[in-house]
């Protein structure tokens, strides 16, 4: 009954946009520590981003840059084996912002790591 009442009133819940942020995954022929160092360095060299939080143990590197749109970039590095690592690069925006389909920063960082 409640569902039909919501439909009758035209009240439908908004679908969350979680997981719809621009992102890319790159596999690197590099051991974990070397991949982590390369991603950390690329945040500054490629994006000019300010790394604000980095944790080698968890593999997470958070950085932000610019003031328009308050885009932040999160890279997470994971071990595949002794010689290969996987990097997930994701753009993050404030809760009030509508995320775009693509992020130039995500693409630039992922391309530099490929």
**Residue 76 placed within a domain:** yes
Q: What is the CATH number of the domain that holds 107?
A: 3.30.310.170
**Residue 3 placed within a domain:** no
Q: Which domain holds residue 35?
A: 17-113
Q: Which residues pair with 78 in a beta bridge?
A: 86
**Residue 2 placed within a domain:** no
**Residue 4 placed within a domain:** no
Distance, first Cα to last Cα, the chain: 53
**Residue 7 placed within a domain:** no
Asked if 109 and 89 touch (Cβ cutoff 8 Å), the reply is: yes
Q: How many domains, the chain?
A: 1
Q: Which of 33, 50, 34 is nearest to 105 (CA)?
A: 50
pLDDT at 48 over 90: no
Tokens of 87: 């990097």
Q: Which of 108, 85, 112, 86 is nearest to 22 (CA)?
A: 108
- Which residues lie closer than 8 Å to 41 by C-beta, 6 or more apart? none
**Residue 97 placed within a domain:** yes
Give 11-26 pLDDT, tens digit per residue. Answer: 655 544 444 678 999 9
- Mean of the pLDDT values across residues 96-109? 80
**Residue 94 placed within a domain:** yes
Residue 76 sits at the vertex; the CA angle it makes with 93 and 17, to the nearest 5 degrees, is 35
State pTM to two decimals.
0.75
């Amino acid at each position: 009954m409640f569902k039909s009442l919501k439909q009758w009133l035209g009240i439908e819940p908004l679908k969350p946009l979680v997981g719809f942020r621009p992102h890319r995954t790159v596999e690197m022929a590099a051991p974990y520590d070397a991949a982590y160092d390369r991603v950390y360095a690329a945040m500054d060299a490629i994006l000019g981003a300010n790394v604000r939080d980095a944790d080698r143990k968890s593999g997470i590197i958070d950085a932000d840059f610019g003031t328009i749109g308050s885009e932040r970039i999160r890279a997470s590095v994971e071990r595949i084996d002794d010689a290969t690592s996987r990097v997930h690069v994701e753009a993050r925006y404030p809760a009030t912002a509508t995320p775009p389909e693509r992020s130039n920063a995500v693409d630039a960082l992922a391309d530099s790591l490929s």
